[in-house]
Amino acid sequence: MIGVIGLGYVGLPLVLGFAEKNFHVIGLDIDQKKVDSIRAGKSYIEHIPSEPIATAVEKGKLEVTTDFSEASRADALIMCVPTPLNEHFEPDLSYVISTIESLVPHLRAGQVVSLESTTYPGTTDEELRPRIEARGLTVGEDVYLVYSPEREDPGNPDFSATKIPKVVGGTTENCAKVGQVLYESVISQVVPVRSTQVAEFSKLLENIYRAVNIGLVNELKIAADKMGIDIWEVIEAAATKPFGFKAFYPGPGLGGHCIPIDPFYLTWKAREYGVHTRFIELAGEINRGMPHWVIERTMEALNERSKSVKGSRILLMGLAYKENVDDMRESPTFELMDALADLGAQVEYYDPHIPEVTPTREHARWTGTKSVEWTTENIAAFDCILIATNHEAFDLASLLASADLIVDTRNAIAKSGLTSREGQVIKA
């Protein structure tokens, strides 16, 4: 039996992957609503259909519970819990620590424990191993401890959880071998590495690579704008080079649970060794500043129409952090909404994937806010429409027909091939 702790964007696809391979899976989560939904055969994540959940439940391949004592029944326990940052941009391992402490009383000899949450190098050995061994179980002999970073890409139909190569590192050689066997039973390609620290670092490198390159192109966007040059045209031209260049695109900031957060796990850990990770910190500074740049461009665009931000009705299109998903974690749209509201604007949002804002830790003021109804009359009533995420579901033709001012942070209008009126669309 496989136990998966944390039934969110990472844990639920993994559960279904094991169930589809005819494993008996038990999912554990502290959220009773998720447990109830799975028991009813219903998905609570838009890009994951309900059918495989219902099938797994009906066949007896999947059971879910909030009772962590059930963990003793599982042969493998896979932890897929959040690893956010605190207000000082330092790692918050509270979810990882509370989870392992909830599991430890129920551990038994012969089990595999795998951590998939993104974290700094050393976490598995420094935080999990001592707590497991305090139970009287020897890691590498009684219990096999591994780290295997998640690589989930919500909404990407080309890469399901079982088709993405899986990096696996063990605390000991025995742990590594057992962990490799565990994941090879369901993942198409397993990539063994020498230690949990290598596996932990590899995940950070993947996301730091993206964060730094996005920071670079975001900085270049501002420089290009000041020069009267369209950065999107520049990128498309550069992308025709068949070697040595990979296109990254600017935006209103960084979103999702990985790229805005993960790099700072390494920054924090590197300080312990006297290392100042300047590229990471500079990229973070640039990316965190992008919402302010968008606000400035919006203010300028309104001023050109003899309007101030204060009192203006502004609609943000796209609350999700990326296109075509219902995932609003760390979405820069929240930063834009907060800033505009603080300046006195009347702020609303439209997102067909997120009909209502659910509770968040940082943006509680928007909890319960509902997406506006998309009608030509409603859209025409706004002083400014700000495209923060470019969902395929957006009716851009209707937008162009109805809106007087569009601030486009995603180059959505140009990519659509539609024609706008002179001065109607401002890129930001």
Distance (Å, whole) CA 36 – CA 224: 51
**Kindly report the CA angle at 398 between 392 and 404, in degrees rounded to 5?**
115
Beta-strand runs (E) in 202-345: 313-317
Six token digits for residue 115: 């951590």
How far is the C-alpha of 237 from the C-alpha of 231, rounded, in Å? 10
The letter for the amino acid at 173 is E
Q: Beta partners for 26?
A: 3, 63
318, 387 contact by CB (below 8 A): yes
What is the DSSP code (8-state) at residue 268? H
Can you tell me the distance from the alpha carbon of 254 to that of 286, in angstroms, rounded to the nearest whole number?
Answer: 10
Is 175 one of the annotated active-site residues of the chain?
A: no
Set 80, 175, 258, 384: catalytic member: 258
Residues 6+ apart with CB under 8 A from 372: 315, 348, 349, 350, 378
Please state, in angstroms and rounded to a whole number, the distance separating the CA atoms of residues 15 and 273.
38
Q: Which of 307, 379, 325, 316 is nearest to 350 (CA)?
A: 316
Known catalytic residues are 258
